Amino acid sequence: MEAVDASSSVIEDSVAIGRAVRRRAEGADGKQLNAEFSVVADGDAFSLIIESAGGRVIGSDLPRNSDYVPLFELLLGRLRELEAVMSGAEVVSANATRLEATERQLISSPIAMANVSDIARLRLDLTRAQGRVGLTSASKKEGNNRKRVLLRITVPDYAASDAEQLATDLSRSGAALVAEAPVGETDGHARVKIRREQARLRRILCGPGKTGVCALCGHEFPTGLLVAAHIKKRQHCTPDERRDLSNVAMLACTFGCDALYEDGWVSVDDSGQLLISDAATTPAVRDRLAALMGLACGAHKVGSEPYFAWHRSTVFRRG
**Does residue 69 sit in the same domain as residue 218?**
no
- 202 located within any domain: yes
**Does residue 62 sit in the same domain as residue 99?**
yes
Quote the pTM value. Answer: 0.59
- Start-to-end CA span in the chain (Å): 54
**Structure confidence by residue, pLDDT tens digits, 115-172:** 999 999 999 999 999 988 866 665 555 567 899 999 999 998 788 888 888 898 888 7
> Would you place residue 1 in the very low, low, confident or very high pLDDT band (cuts 50, 70, 90)?
very low
**Does residue 141 sit in the same domain as residue 122?**
yes
- 105 located within any domain: yes
Which of 176, 194, 212 corresponds to the end of one domain? 176
Q: What is the mean pLDDT of residues 169-185?
A: 53
**Does residue 69 sit in the same domain as residue 47?**
yes
- 214 located within any domain: yes
**Does residue 141 sit in the same domain as residue 197?**
no
Residue of 244 and 269 predicted with greater confidence: 269
Q: How far apart are CA 204 and CA 246, in angstroms?
A: 9
> Would you place residue 284 in the very low, low, confident or very high pLDDT band (cuts 50, 70, 90)?
very high
What is the residue range of 162's domain? 2-176
Find out whether 91 and 149 touch, Cβ atoms under 8 Å. Answer: yes
**Does residue 16 sit in the same domain as residue 60?**
yes
- 209 located within any domain: yes
**Does residue 155 sit in the same domain as residue 191?**
no
Which helix (H) or strand (E) segment holds residue 183: the answer is: none
Q: Which of 91, 74, 89 is nearest to 130 (CA)?
A: 91
Which of 142, 176, 210 corresponds to the end of one domain? 176
Q: How far apart are CA 135 and CA 194, in angstroms?
A: 47
Tally of structural domains, the chain: 2
Q: Reduced to 3 states, what is the DSSP secondary structure of residue 87?
A: strand
**Does residue 153 sit in the same domain as residue 101?**
yes
Which of 148, 176, 204 corresponds to the end of one domain? 176
**Does residue 200 sit in the same domain as residue 137?**
no
Q: How far apart are CA 48 and CA 145, in angstroms?
A: 17
Find out whether 197 and 52 touch, Cβ atoms under 8 Å. Answer: no
Cα→Cα distances 11→68, 150, 317, Å = 19, 9, 61
- 319 located within any domain: no
- 153 located within any domain: yes
- 117 located within any domain: yes
What's residue 185's pLDDT?
45
**Does residue 142 sit in the same domain as residue 225?**
no
**Does residue 11 sit in the same domain as residue 141?**
yes
**Does residue 19 sit in the same domain as residue 127?**
yes
